[in-house]
Structure 1
Amino acid sequence: MTESQNLQAAENLADVVILGAGPAGLVLGSLLHSSGIDCVIVERASREHLRARARAGFLAANTVRILDRHGLGEDLHRYGREHGVCEFRTEDGRFSLDYGRLGSGERHTVYPQQELVSGLLTRFLDSGGRVHFETEALAVLDADSRRPSVTVRGADGRRGRWRARYVAGCDGRHGAARRSLPPGAVRHYRRDHHVSWLGVLAEAAPSLDAVGYAVHRRGFAGHMARSAEVTRYYLECERGASAETWSEDRIWDELALRMRAADYGPLRTGRIIQAGVVELESDVLDPLRHGSLFLVGDAASLISPSAAKGANLAVLEAEILARALVDDLAHGDPEPLARYSARCLAHIWRAQEFSAWMIRLLHGTPGSDSESLFQDSLRRSRLESLRLSRTQQDWFAENYVGV
């Protein structure tokens, strides 16, 4: 049997094929399924890996509202915890912002993303939703037609094809959705912030009651609680550095130095359970649609982790797309789909602007030349304004929690 005959034999149908079972794909699938739209999720990871994959853990107030609106927030209210304070430690001292009482008065909910994904996945499957695990999407074909298709490869190496009315690419920056865009179909905006972080997940209780941002001459350090037993830390590192060169002792020594533990109290330490280097980059595709293919989450835009916007944008975009698809498929109204890209890009660019501002706030400029010293003085001035100006604090709070 030829490959084309194999594909034809394994051909399947759905109104919407969703690539990726992260927050974007699962929220989108849940909303479509509950509205009676026939959809299927194709996910290259196994079910077990998907439930254990550690990612971001700060949910914005609007994300919580979206999940609540569709009956998906029960677990995060049961197991998550609200958070509304961040602390800055600098060469000029330290100060805290109770951002939950500033700006629009909104707070984050700390809830590890793997727990969010696990809960969404369970609800989706229990309601009869379809997920094909260990199935890699290879390409989206005929996206500029009314009957696009997705070629896939299962864990056993066999290939198949899904035909659909629409395809939702929720499979990240390196997924099949982006790879399948023809040259010139979208404009690609990209920025390299020339900053690298060593991201560390530690089996250690939080050392602060706040999110901690430390600015130090040796580089940035960050403290973000994930649970009562696990804390996420970040350390600015040299470009091109490998996580393997950082021993546990070196990590804890450098964190203690940059977090100024000698001045403000020791850090609670524990076993390092995950470490990896993150290059701070941002990109945006425009438009977020090519024919019958829509981009969602990291497939639509990549944002640095400096302000915890990625998963929150993904959930927001998933809701916008779900409503538009229901309007088209169930009610024959294509207009909301035509507006999908513009609506999402307005939110994306606002989040990108704040994320870039946070990067400039938290990182010094290497070198001792006049340009570097000028930029470093601007950074110190921004921090001082944030410490003293209520107007600046309100602006920070609104954008820090907002999406």
Structure 2
Amino acid sequence: MSEAAHETTTVAIIGAGPAGLTLANLLRTAGVDCVVVERQSRAYVEQRQRAGVLEHRAARMFEEWGLADRVLQDSRTDGVQEFRVDGRPRFLPIADLAGGKFGRILPQQFLVQRLITAFQEDGGDLRFGCQDVTLERPGSERPVVTYRDEDGRPHEIEADYLAGCDGFHGVSRRSVPEAEQTIYAYDHGIGWFTVLADVPPPRHPMFAVSAHGFAAHFPRGPRSSRFYLQCAPGEDLDAWDDRRIFDQLRLRIGDPDLPAGAVLEKAVVDMRSFVVDPMSYGRLFLVGDAAHIITPMGGKGMNLALADAEVLAKAVRSAVRDGDAQPLRDYSKTCLDRTWSYQEFSRWMTEMLHDSGDPATSGPFRHKIARARLDRLFTSPNAGGLFSDLMAGEA
């Protein structure tokens, strides 16, 4: 085997999802050199569809870093959330109640494509198809990332800092000794059947609750939609053919005229939460899903990852440019404060919307409590304002 090519950089970023690419662009803007290594191909990364809502805080971040014109173009703004309760629509003016803050509809694959383009146009070093990625000595002053490229040649990157942006199943979190981290995990006992389909998007993002179960309908581009249907954890995908999917959507949403369309993707997501504390180990900093998993309820997963990326970019800039390492020492606490706030909000929403459905499933007492919570959003300006502020994205 040939000798590994040895390189050095300030920050080695493992993973080219929204977290890694955002961090890379922010570091590039700050004048901090970095290298991004990604296991998958560029085509795979650019087509991977997950989240689609960019909260107000995240959009403002791209504006403040001078990336908005390259990242946010054509993103759809929407300041209204629809709740369809037993087939009856109710609308919450999120932007009005949140003091003018609103989210943007921007499918993850579009965000990723634009971040890749921006980074490479600015001369960024982004490497796809990196196999057998290993983190060596992450707790030391000079950690190292090793990998094999697509031609099998070994590489070794020595860095001042490592950013683990490679998700829940990535190598970064597994490189932290078990004794050095506390893991908090929770199984919500709920499954979501998710469907991406060629169906016109709704006028506003929609949650639907009824005795038939929870459903949701969200835009994922000008001509496609993402649907969610409550199901049992570990539900069999083969049990859901296209006819059953759209029959259940029409029933739960209360729209018998909802058009069917080609189903492009379907999967079952088990609703679970996961948090690692601390989010750092030596010179390794965990970012996004490598450090925390949150349910899709509330659309906070990608937004938490982007928030982590900005906190780390500012902390590295402070250490490199100003010689102040305190923000790096505070990185984990800063990120975890927001993470736990969003975990609580997601759990609160999960209980409210799922328990509001079939009383035979939730029980009559929890059902009545959940309906009272839901009604309060529309009858109490304070309750509606707090909900809207959290949905739009905390400052």
Return the match for 2:308 from 302, 317, 321.
Answer: 317
How far residue 90 of structure 1 moved from its aligned partner, in angstroms, is 2.1
1:348 corresponds in structure 2 to 339
Length-normalised TM-score, structure 1: 0.93
Whole-Å separation in 2 of the counterparts to 1:161 and 1:93: 59
Matches within 5 A, 1:51-66: 51-66=46-61
Contact 1:10-1:161 within 8 A present in 2 as well: yes
Return the match for 2:172 from 168, 173, 177.
Answer: 177
One-letter amino acid of the structure 1 residue matched with residue 210 of structure 2: H
How far residue 155 of structure 1 moved from its aligned partner, in angstroms, is 3.1
Contact 1:42-1:136 within 8 A present in 2 as well: no
Whole-Å separation in 2 of the counterparts to 1:33 and 1:339: 22
1:199 corresponds in structure 2 to 194
Whole-Å separation in 2 of the counterparts to 1:224 and 1:121: 25
2:265 matches 1:274: yes
How far residue 401 of structure 1 moved from its aligned partner, in angstroms, is 1.1
Please give the per-residue CA displacement for 1:45-89, whole angstroms capped at 9, x wherever unaligned.
Answer: 111111111121111111111111112111444311101111112
Q: Secondary structure at the match of 1:261?
A: coil
2:223 matches 1:232: no
One-letter amino acid of the structure 1 residue matched with residue 354 of structure 2: H
- Specify whether residues 261 and 367 from structure 1 end up closer, same or farther in structure 2 by C-alpha distance, changes over 3 A only: closer
2:378 matches 1:378: no
Q: Secondary structure at the match of 1:256?
A: helix
1:400 corresponds in structure 2 to 391
How far residue 356 of structure 1 moved from its aligned partner, in angstroms, is 0.6
1:10 corresponds in structure 2 to 5
2:119 corresponds in structure 1 to 124
1:19 corresponds in structure 2 to 14
2:254 matches 1:260: yes
Answer with 175-184 or 144-153: which moved more: 144-153
Answer with 270-279 or 31-40: which moved more: 31-40
Whole-Å separation in 2 of the counterparts to 1:55 and 1:368: 32
Return the match for 2:318 from 324, 327, 331.
Answer: 327
Aligned residues: 393
How far residue 300 of structure 1 moved from its aligned partner, in angstroms, is 1.5
Q: Secondary structure at the match of 2:62?
A: helix
1:216 corresponds in structure 2 to 210
Give the fraction of aligned pairs with identical amino acids, expressed as a percent: 39
- Specify whether residues 32 and 75 from structure 1 end up closer, same or farther in structure 2 by C-alpha distance, changes over 3 A only: closer
Whole-Å separation in 1 of the counterparts to 2:71 and 2:144: 35
Contact 2:62-2:71 within 8 A present in 1 as well: no
One-letter amino acid of the structure 2 residue matched with residue 178 of structure 1: R
Return the match for 2:141 from 141, 146, 152.
Answer: 146
How far residue 20 of structure 1 moved from its aligned partner, in angstroms, is 0.7
- Specify whether residues 367 and 136 from structure 1 end up closer, same or farther in structure 2 by C-alpha distance, changes over 3 A only: farther
Contact 1:76-1:111 within 8 A present in 2 as well: no
- Specify whether residues 355 and 240 from structure 1 end up closer, same or farther in structure 2 by C-alpha distance, changes over 3 A only: same
Please give the per-residue CA displacement for 1:166-220, whole angstroms capped at 9, x wherever unaligned.
Answer: 10001101111111110111111111111110111111112x3111111122321
Q: Secondary structure at the match of 2:345?
A: helix
Contact 2:87-2:253 within 8 A present in 1 as well: no
Whole-Å separation in 1 of the counterparts to 2:234 and 2:104: 33
Contact 1:33-1:129 within 8 A present in 2 as well: yes
Length-normalised TM-score, structure 2: 0.95
2:281 matches 1:290: yes
Whole-Å separation in 2 of the counterparts to 1:92 and 1:36: 53
2:298 corresponds in structure 1 to 307
Contact 1:205-1:231 within 8 A present in 2 as well: yes
Contact 1:137-1:150 within 8 A present in 2 as well: no
- Specify whether residues 31 and 92 from structure 1 end up closer, same or farther in structure 2 by C-alpha distance, changes over 3 A only: closer
Contact 1:361-1:379 within 8 A present in 2 as well: yes
Please give the per-residue CA displacement for 1:13-61, whole angstroms capped at 9, x wherever unaligned.
Answer: 2111001111111111112123332210001111111111112111111
Whole-Å separation in 2 of the counterparts to 1:68 and 1:259: 36
Contact 1:104-1:397 within 8 A present in 2 as well: no
How far residue 325 of structure 1 moved from its aligned partner, in angstroms, is 0.7
2:109 corresponds in structure 1 to 114
2:241 matches 1:247: yes
Return the match for 1:86 from 81, 88, 92.
Answer: 81
Please give the per-residue CA displacement for 1:253-306, whole angstroms capped at 9, x wherever unaligned.
Answer: 0000000114xxx21321111111111111111111100000111112111111
Whole-Å separation in 1 of the counterparts to 2:310 and 2:238: 39
Whole-Å separation in 2 of the counterparts to 1:33 and 1:94: 46
Q: Which runs of 5+ in 1 are unaligned?
A: none
| Superposition misfits of 4+ residues, deviation over 4 angstroms | 365-369
Contact 1:221-1:233 within 8 A present in 2 as well: yes
One-letter amino acid of the structure 2 residue matched with residue 53 of structure 1: R
2:37 matches 1:46: no
Whole-Å separation in 2 of the counterparts to 1:221 and 1:32: 39
How far residue 132 of structure 1 moved from its aligned partner, in angstroms, is 1.0
Whole-Å separation in 2 of the counterparts to 1:77 and 1:297: 20
- Specify whether residues 160 and 78 from structure 1 end up closer, same or farther in structure 2 by C-alpha distance, changes over 3 A only: closer
How far residue 385 of structure 1 moved from its aligned partner, in angstroms, is 1.4
